[in-house]
Amino acid sequence: MHGESERHIVDKGLLTDRSAISTFSGRGTLKYGCIPSEYAVVYFTGTHPSGCYFEGERERGLTKEPIEVIPATTNPPLIMRPESRIRFSKQYGPVGVAYGRIGFDD
């Protein structure tokens, strides 16, 4: 995702612009104060997840299975930065609100 805007999860299987995805200023879960065990790598189809880890992230607790996302559109192309992480420990957003689609989990 571009920038540091926080994204949120709305529905099972659907990632939207409200999904809890962050890059932590390009540092993944190595950013100070981050709890790696609350996150997983999230990546678009066509990217190999092993290239999305920073040295030391797994040892600090980033052990959840990476989540592959099929982009909702290719025109315009969406970008998922390699340091993107999705958070599982926090619930977001009001129910029943329409959000833009990012993609679908595989």
Per residue in 11-48, pLDDT tens? 345 555 555 788 888 999 999 989 999 999 998 888 99
What span, in angstroms and rounded, lies between the C-alpha atoms of 32 and 27?
9
Q: 83 lies in a domain?
A: yes
Q: 2 lies in a domain?
A: no
Provide the domain limits for residue 95. Answer: 9-105
What type of residue is 68?
A: E
Q: 90 lies in a domain?
A: yes
Overall domain count for the chain:
1
pTM over 0.85: no
Q: 68 lies in a domain?
A: yes
Q: 94 lies in a domain?
A: yes
Q: What is the pLDDT of residues 60-96, one digit of tens each?
A: 999 999 988 888 777 888 888 999 998 876 655 555 5
Q: 4 lies in a domain?
A: no
What type of residue is 76?
A: P
Phi, psi of 29 (to 5 degrees): -85, 10
Q: 1 lies in a domain?
A: no
What span, in angstroms and rounded, lies between the C-alpha atoms of 32 and 54?
14
Q: 70 lies in a domain?
A: yes
